[in-house]
C-alpha cells in the first residue's frame, strides 16, 4: 500500500486511479484530481506543508 501524498489516503499500487513519477520516485493517487494537484505543485505536497 502507498499513501496518496495529496489527501493521505492509503492506495493499493495495483489499483491506483493514477500515478506520477517525480524525483525518480513513483507516487500513487486515489483519484485523478489528486494526481492533477500533485503534478501542478509536487514540492508543496512532498514538503508536508500542503
pLDDT in tens, the chain (50 residues): 999 999 999 999 999 999 999 999 999 999 999 999 999 999 999 987 66
Q: Are strands 10-11 and 18-22 parallel, antiparallel or unpaired?
A: unpaired
User: Do residues 27 and 5 touch, judged by C-beta distance below 8 A?
Assistant: yes
Q: What is the pTM of this model?
A: 0.91
User: Do residues 42 and 22 touch, judged by C-beta distance below 8 A?
Assistant: yes
Per-residue model confidence (pLDDT) at position 26: 97
Per-residue model confidence (pLDDT) at position 48: 73
Per-residue model confidence (pLDDT) at position 49: 63
Per-residue model confidence (pLDDT) at position 50: 63
Per-residue model confidence (pLDDT) at position 36: 98
Amino acid at each position: 500500500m502507498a499513501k496518496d501524498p495529496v489527501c493521505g489516503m492509503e492506495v493499493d499500487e495495483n489499483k491506483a486511479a493514477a500515478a506520477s513519477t517525480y524525483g525518480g520516485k513513483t507516487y500513487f493517487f486515489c483519484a485523478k484530481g489528486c494526481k492533477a494537484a500533485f503534478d501542478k505543485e509536487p514540492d508543496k505536497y512532498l514538503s508536508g506543508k500542503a
